[in-house]
Structure 1
Amino acid sequence: MSLGPRGFLYTPGGFEPADALAAARAHLSDRDDGELYLQYRASEMVAFDDGRLRAADYSTDRGFGLRGVTGEMTGFAHANELSRAAIDRAAETLRLLDPSKQAPAGPPRGTNARLYTDADPLVAVPFERKLALIEEIEAEARRRDPRIDQVSVVLSGSWSVVEIVRPDGFVGTDVRPLVRLNVSVVMADGDRRESGSHGLGGRYLYDRLFDRATWMRCVDEAVRMADVNMRSVAAPAGDMPVLLGPGWCGVLLHEAVGHGLEGDFNRKGQSTFSGRIGERVASPGVTVVDEGNIADRRGSLTIDDEGTPTQRNVLIEDGILRGYMQDRLNARLMGVEPTGNGRRESFAHAPMPRMTNTFMLGGEDDPAELLARLDKGIYAKSFGGGQVDIVSGKFVFSCTEAYKVEGGKLGDPIKGATLIGDGPTVMQRVQGIGNDMALDEGVGMCGKGGQSVPAGVGQPSLLVSAITVGGTAA
């Protein structure tokens, strides 16, 4: 009988599904919780830079992670070999844990949901077509404006097969595609050089990215942003009202608020949101959701990396804190149910509570009317890099596209603007919520504890009464 994609994890006559289940039962039955996590992953990246192929990488790896949990203690070991002997060797680490003194945690609930295709995007399109596409995109970007000095196009994808095997007999399998396209340009005029970029992607096949209208929009946005930055002036500085744009600006919400709503920080009392369920933590109208079961989205998972089906979790409702994002360990210790947020970077990492697609719901305000309310402030349309203290929510974010606002109208684009503050305070200062909620276009990565995972963000236009703006204008 064919195993389908699971054939990348098992070898007939060698390491078989029965061996994985037997290993899980042998090494995890006397623990409070735990699982054997198997993974195969193939990934590629093709980069075209300044008229030539800069990189063409392809790699595969596979292995397992064995985790046992007793109380708050976790034992974890991994190896890039899938065999019963390797798992038995790894299990020596679990002997450092005391045996469980209570009934083990039950298995995750089952699901028949499929949020994305299980087809492999890497093999569906020949390399020659991928190279031809990025060459065409690079040439198209250069045709847009004679000031364009550099163009970089990157096409990347991965295909992962994961299986979670538990001692209670639970077996959960997920096949995860992921693709991304990014276009970056540099404009030059005399001594001035400015950049612009745009990207998109998700859990689907390359065919969506090969659609001409899709990649042309990527080029349009990258060139437009570079042109805007060429016209930018020094950013103002000081405390002032800020209108945040829809979509990608939700990365500020993700970093400055979302991490503080993850279960581990709250169980340990380290978050500013700890112990505040039922309290007002944001302005009326602010509703924040983490939803891992949106079809084809970059941050979505059919099941999380512990086997729990993902779901829609309302974290803040009309300004009131309703719950946290939970993996199995922290949910058990806090006496609540897992929420499908147990995630890990790969088989070489233990799971922890992480966001999936985190966003704020839209309101009823017209975005144009929100802009008209600003007498003097800035409109931040897009962010680049930033720094955030996860526990306190304090942040510093750089704007990649922002504008002065005077008399309710957009003024000059500004350069060098940073937003400085803390997430909980910003949430209390929301004065207007647009009816234009949008998710980002599928480029987000989330870092925590040395692990990186794909994630989605989103929000509507948001009018905040005051944020500290760091600028360069006198």
Structure 2
Amino acid sequence: MRDDRFRPFETLLDETAALTILRDAVAGADDGEIFLERRRSEVLVLDDGRIRTASYDASEGFGLRAVRGEVAGYAHSTEISEASLRRAAETARLAVGAGGGVLAPPPAGTNRRLYSDADPLADAAFAARIDLLREIDAFARALDPRVVQVTASLSATHQEIEILRPEGIRLADVRPMARLNVAVIVERAGRRETGSAGGGGRYGLAGLMDRGHWEGVVREALRIAAVNLDAVAAPAGVLDVALGPGWPGILLHEAVGHGLEGDFNRKKTSAFAGLMGQRVAAPGVTVLDDGTIPDRRGSISIDDEGTPSARNVLIEDGILVGYMQDRQNARLMGVAPTGNGRRESHAHIPMPRMTNTYMLAGKDDPAGIVAGMRDGIWAVGFGGGQVDITNGKFVFSCTEAYRVRNGRVEEPLKGATLIGDGATALRHIRAIGTDMALDPGMGNCGKAGQWVPVGVGQPTLLIGGLTVGGSAA
């Protein structure tokens, strides 16, 4: 059921009055819009047999932006009224001044729908969700007596946005999101290790709550934890590294993806600035950012400026061919917007952001890639990581990794970190598997204090000569 507090926007603002205020705010500017948002979200967390978190959040508000050149004036409010809109317009005008710009053409329209507009919060009663989390806890403990703690979470969000452009165009999108995650801690002989699994996408809770799905999530979390019980300290040194398919694409996202966002390249603070048309990766490497994949966590029918999302090729057969752009950076760089203008909420200004970023499959047999390694590491799971956009240097921690000797996968490793820089890693790719996969839907991306949901993916890859941090070999 719709929450009574979430009224249709047309009952909150008179469109004619709002359009007049917006046009006054962007007079002489290059661009601008009113971004309206309402959002409801619920998170349930069961930890060690008890409900630790049961939160519900409801919010609505608007942001008004006026853009001229490299300057943007932005004001936002949780009060959607003509009076607050006028105050926001006055604030935004201060940044752009008298102006003298010509209003940029509006985004192209689209009728494409990449996901349902159904409300995930309406899929199951509160009590049913609590019962599910308790059932997951009991199932995990029954699977293995070594399980000493279980944490299970279920979350759902329903976001509605509407964009009013100064030309009088109205654009709207309804974005569902649901996610299930399970983490377990196992203990043997006083040693404890953790494993986690889960994910979701732009759909309802029903599929995630299906027993056939959540049992698989629990088993995967337990498998990873059990593997880590036998892990030994990782070696340190320069080694060949094979990356598994799917979620290990987070390394590609961080080490390469951020460096291909338009604002960093316009300001020449990216390691890839000025390299358009040049070889930046090994032959066969093709990297895309694609917001058009149905139901994926990072997909958006339109971005937060109203531009339809797109399948954007960034690197093609090793050659840099494109950047991800919002409207402002695209205009300043003399190119077309790519549908990557994203913001965390109405309280945030849009900027170039990734959606689903992944590498296309190659021609190499995945099993043969690992079997061909003389001495190296096979990394199939990753945790946190950091990257310096200016030089592409990254550090990533592995949550599941194995030592490979003479083509044999041997002992699991604990404490392995991968250290390098994105540009060098791309050029040192020696093999690309046929098994491209997307992650299960668990990515969040941070930039300039804003967080948005994203997707990643890749096939099995062999990268030569990465620095591995661990204990002494």
Q: Does 1:75 align with 2:73?
A: yes
Structure 1 partner of 2:297: 298
- CA–CA distance in 1 between the matches of 2:30 and 2:426? 38
Output aligned runs, 1:161-176, within 5 Å.
161-176=160-175
Shift of 1:372: 1.2
SS of aligned partner of 1:196:
strand
Structure 2 partner of 1:216: 215
Structure 2 partner of 1:182: 181
Deviations 1:348-391 (A, max 9, x none): 00000000000000001101110111000000001001111122
- CA–CA distance in 2 between the matches of 1:173 and 1:94? 23
Letter in 1 for 2:108: R
- CA–CA distance in 2 between the matches of 1:264 and 1:345? 17
Q: Does 1:123 align with 2:122?
A: yes
Structure 2 partner of 1:37: 35
Cα separation, partners in 2 of 1:4 and 1:28, compared to 1, 3 Å: farther
- CA–CA distance in 2 between the matches of 1:439 and 1:393? 23
Cα separation, partners in 2 of 1:74 and 1:467, compared to 1, 3 Å: same
Cα separation, partners in 2 of 1:6 and 1:175, compared to 1, 3 Å: farther
- TM score, norm. by length of structure 2: 0.97
- CA–CA distance in 2 between the matches of 1:443 and 1:400? 15
Letter in 2 for 1:173: A
Shift of 1:88: 0.4
Output aligned runs, 1:191-340, within 5 Å.
191-340=190-339
Shift of 1:11: 5.7
- CA–CA distance in 2 between the matches of 1:291 and 1:446? 15
Shift of 1:90: 1.2
- CA–CA distance in 2 between the matches of 1:19 and 1:47? 44
- CA–CA distance in 2 between the matches of 1:104 and 1:229? 57
Shift of 1:277: 1.0
8 Å Cα contact 1:9/1:39 also seen in 2:
no
Letter in 1 for 2:455: G
8 Å Cα contact 2:66/2:93 also seen in 1:
no
Output aligned runs, 1:384-395, within 5 Å.
384-395=383-394
Letter in 1 for 2:37: Q
- CA–CA distance in 1 between the matches of 2:427 and 2:43? 42
Letter in 1 for 2:30: D
Structure 1 partner of 2:26: 28
Cα separation, partners in 2 of 1:69 and 1:470, compared to 1, 3 Å: same
- CA–CA distance in 2 between the matches of 1:68 and 1:19? 17
- CA–CA distance in 1 between the matches of 2:10 and 2:462? 57
Shift of 1:9: 4.5
Cα separation, partners in 2 of 1:243 and 1:465, compared to 1, 3 Å: same
8 Å Cα contact 1:281/1:320 also seen in 2:
yes
Cα separation, partners in 2 of 1:15 and 1:70, compared to 1, 3 Å: same
- CA–CA distance in 1 between the matches of 2:6 and 2:344? 22
Structure 1 partner of 2:428: 429
Deviations 1:224-265 (A, max 9, x none): 000000010111110010000000000000000000000001
8 Å Cα contact 1:31/1:104 also seen in 2:
yes
SS of aligned partner of 2:142:
helix
Cα separation, partners in 2 of 1:345 and 1:457, compared to 1, 3 Å: same
Deviations 1:125-154 (A, max 9, x none): 110111111111111111111010000000
Shift of 1:160: 0.5
Identity, % of aligned pairs? 58
Q: Give structure 1 stretches of 5+ with no counterpart.
A: none
8 Å Cα contact 1:253/1:359 also seen in 2:
yes
8 Å Cα contact 1:122/1:159 also seen in 2:
yes
Deviations 1:309-365 (A, max 9, x none): 000000000000001000000000000000000000000000000000000000011
Shift of 1:18: 3.6
Q: Does 1:415 align with 2:414?
A: yes
| Structure 1 stretches of 4+ moved >4 Å | 3-7
Deviations 1:59-96 (A, max 9, x none): 10000111100111110111111111101011121232
Output aligned runs, 1:76-155, within 5 Å.
76-96=74-94, 97-155=96-154
- CA–CA distance in 2 between the matches of 1:6 and 1:51? 34
SS of aligned partner of 1:455:
strand
- CA–CA distance in 2 between the matches of 1:274 and 1:455? 23
8 Å Cα contact 1:5/1:175 also seen in 2:
no
8 Å Cα contact 1:202/1:442 also seen in 2:
yes
8 Å Cα contact 1:29/1:167 also seen in 2:
no
- CA–CA distance in 1 between the matches of 2:367 and 2:45? 39
- CA–CA distance in 2 between the matches of 1:10 and 1:104? 25
8 Å Cα contact 1:9/1:62 also seen in 2:
no
Shift of 1:194: 0.2
Deviations 1:393-442 (A, max 9, x none): 11000000000000101000000000000011000000000000000000
- CA–CA distance in 2 between the matches of 1:172 and 1:128? 36
- CA–CA distance in 2 between the matches of 1:114 and 1:204? 12
Shift of 1:105: 0.2
- CA–CA distance in 1 between the matches of 2:58 and 2:5? 15
Cα separation, partners in 2 of 1:307 and 1:160, compared to 1, 3 Å: same
Cα separation, partners in 2 of 1:469 and 1:205, compared to 1, 3 Å: same
- CA–CA distance in 1 between the matches of 2:17 and 2:37? 15
8 Å Cα contact 1:387/1:395 also seen in 2:
yes
Shift of 1:20: 3.1
Q: Does 1:455 align with 2:459?
A: no
Letter in 2 for 1:85: A
Structure 2 partner of 1:51: 49
Aligned Cα root-mean-square deviation (Å):
1.5
